[in-house]
A = this chain, B = another copy of it.
Amino acid sequence: MRAAAAWRPATDIESTAMNLDKKSLLAWAQDHRADFESTLQQFVEVPSVSSEPERAADIRRCAELAAAKIRGFGGVASILETEGNPIVHGRFDVDPSLPTVTVYNHLDVQPASAETEPWKTDPFTFIKEGDRYLGRGTTDDKGPALTALFAIRAAHEAGVRVNIHTIWELEEEIGSPNFEGAMKKYAEQLATNSVIVSDTIWVSRERPACPAGLRGLQGFELSLETAKTDQHSGVVGGAARNPIGELMKLVTKMYNATTGKVKIKGFYDDVMQPSKKELNDFKNSGFTVKKFKKDHGFKSIRTEDPMEVMKRIWALPTMEVHGLVGGYTGAGIKTVVPPRATVKISCRLVPNQDPKKIKKLVRDFVKRHNPDVKISFEASMEAYKAPTTGPLANAVRSAMKFAFGIEPVFVREGGSIGAVVSMEQVLKAPVLFLGLSLPEHGYHAPNENYDWQQASGGMVAFVKYFEEIAAMK
């Protein structure tokens, strides 16, 4: 590992020490590979699981590690406190008169357990297998965050004249509950001209893909209580209400689990259909049903038509049942009538759908069909429609083409990144995407991984993007 070069104020920058051709950039990446890998190891081995309150100390440790790393690279780091987990802000300023571009990533990760999930290696031990890096957070989103950080350093060494900031969130996996508040609180310090988010997934390794939009999210829990304690089904069965059965019936009224179609009237009213150009990009994205099924380990899916699958995962809203709490879940059968149950559901939403309106539709539907059922709403995120034209979108296009040899397709991202809408609205800056993850990296899944091809290519792409912005004004 080489010592990081100190960040010099812009006025000190003389001539460019490094050429910005692809070969030089890749050579730079190769020179820094060992450093990148040991840094990623340090980050992966801090289990910064934001959904587990007992990991609070690890979250804090991760923030401190991130700040130290930024400082080690010559940047100015601040740990911004919020009502929840902190945000790490990094500044690599060259000259206040130059434009600023902010790279957004998150450093918190999904829960992982080698005991209950089929991990082949310990999720919080970094494993290098040739070009592949295994461990929770390698691809979502610590690997891409560090890829961008190394690119910032390369851009600096190359003398790219743009101020580069980083925003590293630590609550993304729990729906960014305090992110918008923090954006407002620290707006002055966080001011930027544009944001580039690196937390999305290509359709296939063969062709880069950038989101033209993100789906939103509306989570909710339906609860029904009909008694106080378990009752013997021999004694009361037939007359007693069964809260699990009633919730199953209600859910089945709400959506057709076979097709996925939501049956709540008005649910699809505001859905913005993808344009012809978008559908064309979908078609050229490299998506195949076979690969989709293989990547996710699906035995069968709802339809085998590739265009239909792409529409459903990117451009249409969904309803999903995540779990049911209540009743007997041990071995065999315990013949109880359970007193209460809760079902966990969420809807992915698409651009133009308003979570508030969806909440009202769901609430009214539940009230009409089973008025005893209580509803509580969880994480709510608006969908996002990203720029696909204009200088910034074109900069993403050329950066991706430069690094990976082929122009990216603009598809939709089926997931939600709550922070995106907040940054757009509060920082009043356009938000674009330069994602590096691949379907086979296993987002949110066991055996999550990242690889050197995406990391090194990503470094080249980011440097190029920074250079495009520097050249812009």
Q: Is A339 an interface residue (CB 8 A)?
A: yes
Closest to A337 in B: B320
Q: Is A433 an interface residue (CB 8 A)?
A: no
Structural contact, B251 and A245, CB atoms closer than 8 A: yes
Mask, A312-339, CB within 8 Å of B = 1, is 1100101011111111111111111111
Q: Is A406 an interface residue (CB 8 A)?
A: no
Select the stretch in A254-262, A386-394, A459-467 that faces chain B: A254-262
Structural contact, B344 and A231, CB atoms closer than 8 A: no
How far is it, in angstroms, between the C-alpha of A247 and the C-alpha of B252 when the chains are bound? 10
Select the stretch in A60-68, A215-223, A271-279, A360-368 that faces chain B: A215-223
How far is it, in angstroms, between the C-alpha of A379 and the C-alpha of B234 when the chains are bound? 14
Structural contact, B240 and A302, CB atoms closer than 8 A: yes
Q: How many copies does the complex hold?
A: 2
How far is it, in angstroms, between the C-alpha of A174 and the C-alpha of B335 when the chains are bound? 10
Structural contact, B248 and A252, CB atoms closer than 8 A: yes
Q: Is A78 an interface residue (CB 8 A)?
A: no
Structural contact, B297 and A232, CB atoms closer than 8 A: no
Q: Is A443 an interface residue (CB 8 A)?
A: yes
Q: Is A51 an interface residue (CB 8 A)?
A: yes
Structural contact, B219 and A333, CB atoms closer than 8 A: yes
Which residues of the other chain, B, contact A333 by a CB distance below 8 angstroms?
Answer: 219-221, 322, 344-346, 378-379
Would A323 and B329 be within 8 Å (CB), given that A229-B297, A258-B246, A296-B231 are in contact?
Answer: yes
Considering only residues 3-54 of chain A, those with a C-beta below 8 Å from chain B are 51
Structural contact, A322 and B334, CB atoms closer than 8 A: yes
Q: Is A285 an interface residue (CB 8 A)?
A: no
How far is it, in angstroms, between the C-alpha of A344 and the C-alpha of B331 when the chains are bound? 10
How far is it, in angstroms, between the C-alpha of A77 and the C-alpha of B210 when the chains are bound? 79
Which residues of the other chain, B, contact A225 by a CB distance below 8 angstroms?
Answer: 299
Q: Is A233 an interface residue (CB 8 A)?
A: yes
Q: Report the minimal beta-carbon distance from A175 to chain B, rounded to whole angstroms.
A: 8
Q: Is A84 an interface residue (CB 8 A)?
A: no
Q: Is A445 an interface residue (CB 8 A)?
A: yes
Which residues of the other chain, B, contact A51 by a CB distance below 8 angstroms?
Answer: 330-332, 334
How far is it, in angstroms, between the C-alpha of A341 and the C-alpha of B385 when the chains are bound? 35
How far is it, in angstroms, between the C-alpha of A330 and the C-alpha of B113 when the chains are bound? 14
Structural contact, B414 and A237, CB atoms closer than 8 A: yes
Structural contact, A300 and B415, CB atoms closer than 8 A: no
16 chain-A/chain-B pairs, Cβ below 8 angstroms = A51-B332, A118-B229, A215-B234, A233-B346, A237-B318, A237-B348, A239-B302, A240-B298, A241-B302, A242-B260, A252-B252, A300-B372, A322-B327, A322-B334, A322-B335, A325-B329
